[in-house]
Structure 1
Amino acid sequence: MASCNVMRGSKNGLEVKIRQEKNPELLDIDGDVCHHIHNASKKFCEPFKYYVEGLFNDVFNDHRWSVDLRELLQEVCSLLNISFTVSERFISHRWLSCYDCALSSLRLWDAYQVFYFGFMTKEDMAFYLSEMIAIFRKHDVSLAAKERLKQIWKLNGSKNMTNDGKKRKKHIISKVIFQAKKSILTLSFYQSVLPLLKSYVVLFQSKQPMVHILADRQEQLFRDFISCYVKQEEILNKTPSQLKTMPLTEDNGQFLKEKEMFVGNKAGHILKNTNTADSIALNFRRQVSTANIVICGDSQMITNGQTLDL
């Protein structure tokens, strides 16, 4: 059943009422496996301090009620030859929505940088102008398009905003421009790893009964996740019962080195071209390691036909 309080509450939930009034011999009621996966996604993202999730909310709210801003962003996308879509909404009780938001954000990233450049101070604009020029070259922006983008920057710079609007712009500029590498690393990691959970949810949200493949798919999901940070020789040929008892929260030589853990191609490329002593890179690798340990440590396989309690 669903895991909301009205169903699973410890005092007046439906499960408690069934045990008290109808079936005291009831052994177990489990929550919706898709809800488990969303909860697992939240745990997985916790080590990253919800950094990009805050960005998702800020961008969505920035354009939700401001039709003029949304239209200007759409025009920026057109000038950069980027396909425009309305910003995805992050839904905290469906945490895997952060995967869709990450995909959308990465696709629109250059447009976000160019658009919010116009809200920066003159000093910051002068400092980051070279990055805008690099984006223009990347997208082969015409001279006429460059002139129009300059006009859009002036429009954004002269826009009257509420205090909340000003704070929101500062938050977005910080994550999209000032701390772009930190944001891109996290977004790229989400893009590469969360599809493992997303595909599972999509499969078990289908209309057809899928209970006959539930145990197999949960075992495969578990194997895929621990493969991100555990040496392959520690996983191969192990039975579900052996996987259940594997030490996954403390490194006894079975973990990969942090620099060898799976982060995805794009994040891996950024890290490869970043100084190994870079504080952002070091912190990101620690967060990746912690995220893997948190989700796998809490999701040891329960064998003998029972579900994987993510």
Structure 2
Amino acid sequence: MYRKEISLILNLPASSPQRGFVPHRWLSAYDGSMATHAMMPAYKELYYGYLSTADKELYREPLELMYTKYNVNQAARARIKVVQEELNRKGMTPQGRERKKRVCQKLWHEETTTVLQLSIYMGCSGYSQGGSQTLVRKLHDRQLELFLAFLAFFVKAEHITQATDLQIVDLGGHLLVDILQL
């Protein structure tokens, strides 16, 4: 209810969040990723109330920038603050507190990493939208081609062309270790 209210204030789609699993093929998680990405500002608003006092001070400026970006007026800001306080006053189990802490960590402290990982996942999952001729296979083939081109700089071609997939991966791993030791 609060998430939907904040979504409406921010003029975001008020879709229901996806659960931690998708009941069918993993590639169908693309839609869940897109919805989560679109809802990130609403999630950040909700979970801001669970931050420590020091963290609230630290993230006050990004919160204000979000209000400006989404044209949130003073009355709506006051309502969001009331929602945050109400949620923070609710009694929680130790597991609930830990979950809130983990979510705050991902939304606020590790925002760049979280958005990057979500974006990569959405990008790779988007390759699955090719119907019967899935583009995931094309992505795999392109990655293999790129990796083999890289290996060709360091290994004779006949060693690469005669190797199995497992041998190529092993060879690449050994090569990477050697390069890192230089």
Provide TM-score, normalisation by structure 2.
0.74
Rounded to whole Å, the distance in 1 between the matches of 2:29 and 2:67 is 28
Match of 2:57 in 1: 126
1:177 lines up with 2:77 in the alignment = no
Q: In the TM superposition, what are the counterparts of 1:1-310 in structure 2 within 5 Å?
A: 71-89=1-19, 90-91=21-22, 94-197=25-128, 199-200=129-130, 203-204=131-132, 217=133, 221-227=136-142, 230=145, 247=148, 251-253=151-153
Q: Is the 8 A contact 1:120 1:157 kept in 2?
A: no
Identity %: 23
Rounded to whole Å, the distance in 1 between the matches of 2:97 and 2:67 is 26
What is the letter of the counterpart of residue 181 of structure 1? T
What do residues 42-89 of structure 1 show as CA deviations (whole Å, max 9, x unaligned)? xxxxxxxxxxxxxxxxxxxxxxxxxxxxx0111111111111111112
Q: Aligned pairs, how many? A: 156
Change (3 A) 1:127 1:93: same
Q: Which deviates the most, 94-103 or 181-190?
A: 94-103
Rounded to whole Å, the distance in 1 between the matches of 2:90 and 2:32 is 27
Change (3 A) 1:101 1:253: farther
What do residues 251-282 of structure 1 show as CA deviations (whole Å, max 9, x unaligned)? 3249xxxxxxxxxxxxxxxxxxxxxxxxxxxx
SS of 2:151's equivalent in the other structure is: coil
Rounded to whole Å, the distance in 1 between the matches of 2:3 and 2:22 is 23
What do residues 230-259 of structure 1 show as CA deviations (whole Å, max 9, x unaligned)? 45xxxxxxxxxxxxxx948x73249xxxxx
What is the letter of the counterpart of residue 142 of structure 2? S
Rounded to whole Å, the distance in 2 between the matches of 1:138 and 1:157 is 25
Aligned-CA RMSD value: 2.8
Unaligned runs of 5+ residues in structure 2 are 155-164, 170-182
Instruction: Compute the displacement of 1:96 (Å).
Output: 2.1
Rounded to whole Å, the distance in 1 between the matches of 2:143 and 2:39 is 28
Instruction: Compute the displacement of 1:153 (Å).
Output: 1.5
What is the letter of the counterpart of residue 76 of structure 1? I
What do residues 157-215 of structure 1 show as CA deviations (whole Å, max 9, x unaligned)? 21111111111111111111110111100111111121112x24xx34xxxxxxxxxxx
Larger fraction in helix: 2
Instruction: Compute the displacement of 1:92 (Å).
Output: 7.6
Q: Is the 8 A contact 1:91 1:97 kept in 2?
A: yes
Unaligned runs of 5+ residues in structure 1 are 1-70, 205-216, 232-245, 255-292, 298-310
SS of 1:82's equivalent in the other structure is: coil
Provide TM-score, normalisation by structure 1.
0.45
The 4+ residue runs of structure 1 with deviation greater than 4 A are 228-231
Rounded to whole Å, the distance in 2 between the matches of 1:253 and 1:134 is 47
